[in-house]
Amino acid sequence: MEEMVFQIGPIRPPSEANSLLLRVTVNCPWNRCKFCMLYKKYDFHTRSVAEVKQDIDTMAELRDRILQYKTANGWDIQAINNEYQTLTTDDQRWCYQMVFRWMTEGDCNSIFLQDANTMCLRADWLAEIIRYVRVKLPEIKRITSYGRANTLAKITPEDYKMLKEAGLDRIHSGYESGSDKVLALIEKGCTQEEQIIGGRKVREAGIELSIYFMPGVGGKPFQRMDGDGFVVFGPVAFGFARMRAHAPGDAGEGVAGVQPGEGLVGFSGGDQRVHLLDTVAEGTGMFAGRRAALTVIPAYLYGDPVPFLAVNRRHDAFLRIDRMLRRCV
């Protein structure tokens, strides 16, 4: 079996757990948020359209190889396992498993464009990639991407129209807080105004918007500003909003990557839970009549990417599939 590998990034939104992952950019172009350590050791770069298309071709080839083992009663797992055993590298096994799971256990209708801010890519390049996905993987019904709020604010309506017509369906954006003071404190690199402008542009283009907030990310001194930040909910007609709890550390400690005394004073575990519930209750009225999903994620991701990958749900899925295949030996 030839190489048959494609790049897989380390992160995706929770709702894209069953989506195929296509890495369009690599790492994060901002990479200064104080709460996120994921990309701190790595430089950002874009991938060429040709490279991304090659990965799409590889995904399509793997899909076709696996499809030959589909039977009237399901899948010929023994035949799939026999082919799997011929794979000689971890990269080959990861890619094979991802496509296999996407086809058999996941959502074969969706694909997520990685990494942390794919929307910073030139719009015409991104549109070309999206169109190519539609051609090579016609079963795809939903194409989604990450986009930073300040990037979304800079994209022109004409470019949004082009991306929508190409087939972009949803953009995920980590707002984290709607308070300018908290945004500055965590070095998010955007403002409340940019959140509103970017969100409006996305929705006016007919693209779904999924936004993320982290109550408590500014620590105790700024906890009241989490509720104040809900002002962005009114002007931004988002489709989904997710609350993910983040405490900067135990009481008296700073956020990951920030030394104690720099202004980010954390919550104790109990205080964090109470604050999260209070914040959700305060903001719930802003969701009236909206197709919104409030999801509480107990802790945000930080630390070295290697241990992160070790606990990533998609990685766990790979291990489960690996065990299933090995039982057929």
Side chain identity, residue 15 = S
Specify the domain boundaries for CATH 3.30.750 within the chain: 174-293
Strands 142-146 and 45-46: unpaired
Q: Is the four-CA dihedral 87, 90, 92, 94 of positive or negative sign?
A: positive
Residue-wise pLDDT tens for the chain (329 aa)? 568 999 999 888 888 888 999 999 999 999 998 878 888 889 999 999 999 999 999 999 999 999 999 999 889 999 999 999 999 999 999 999 999 989 987 667 999 999 999 999 999 999 999 999 999 999 999 999 999 999 999 999 999 999 999 999 999 999 988 889 889 988 999 999 999 999 999 999 999 998 888 777 777 677 667 666 667 766 776 777 776 655 554 443 434 444 433 444 454 545 554 555 455 544 544 444 443 333 333 333 333 333 333 333 334 434 444 444 444 33
Provide φ and ψ at 106, rounded to 5°: -95, -150
Say which residues have a Cβ less than 8 Å from residue 184's Cβ, sequence separation at least 6.
none
CATH assignment of 174-293, among 3.30.750, 1.10.3470, 1.10.101, 3.40.91? 3.30.750
Of 175, 240, 238, nearest in space to 212 by CA: 175
DSSP states of 63-100 as a string?
HHHHHTTEETTEE-HHHHHHHHTT--SHHHHHHHHHHH
pTM of structure: 0.80
pLDDT of residue 45: 95
